[in-house]
Amino acid sequence: MLIPLFIFVLSLTPWTWSRALNYYGADFSSLVKLENSGLVYKDANSTSGAKFENILRNHGVNLARIRVWTSTLDSEYSLKYGLALAKRASAAGMEIYVDLHYSDTCRFYLQYRSLVNI
């Protein structure tokens, strides 16, 4: 009887509460492409020149997802592109989640199926 009671009391301690991860993320992958097309981000409290990452940070976002594709160094979504985005998000105080894509061409099931002769 004491062991279940001990486990119950232990589950109510602040130590167990603090172990929860609280991430609120946004996908930054196409940010530069959208900015280069003329898209401007703003909210009710920001000026017209506010940076996207600062607006999100002010609304509680603490994680930036960045896709990195197996591309040449100077193409969209390359490692070089991803590192530049990661630096921007990190400077805004966000953590980085890198999503690696290992193929630029095989994105759909039917393409995979024809490649392996299923």
Q: Do the domain assignments include residue 40? A: yes
Our count of domains for the chain comes to 1
- Report if residue 83 sits inside a domain: yes
Helix, strand or coil for residue 107? coil
- The verdict on residue 85 lying in a domain is yes
The three-state secondary structure class of 85 is helix
E strand intervals along 1-118: 25-27, 63-69, 95-101
- Give pTM, 2 decimals: 0.67
Any domain includes 3: no
**Residue ranges making up the domain that contains 105:** 22-116
pLDDT tens by residue, 38-86:
988 888 887 777 889 999 999 999 999 999 887 666 677 888 889 999 9
The answer to whether residue 110 sits within a structural domain is: yes
Backbone phi, then psi, for 34, in 5-degree steps? -70, -40
Please indicate, yes or no, if residue 15 is contained in any of the structural domains: no
- Check if the beta carbon of residue 55 is closer than 8 Å to that of residue 26: no
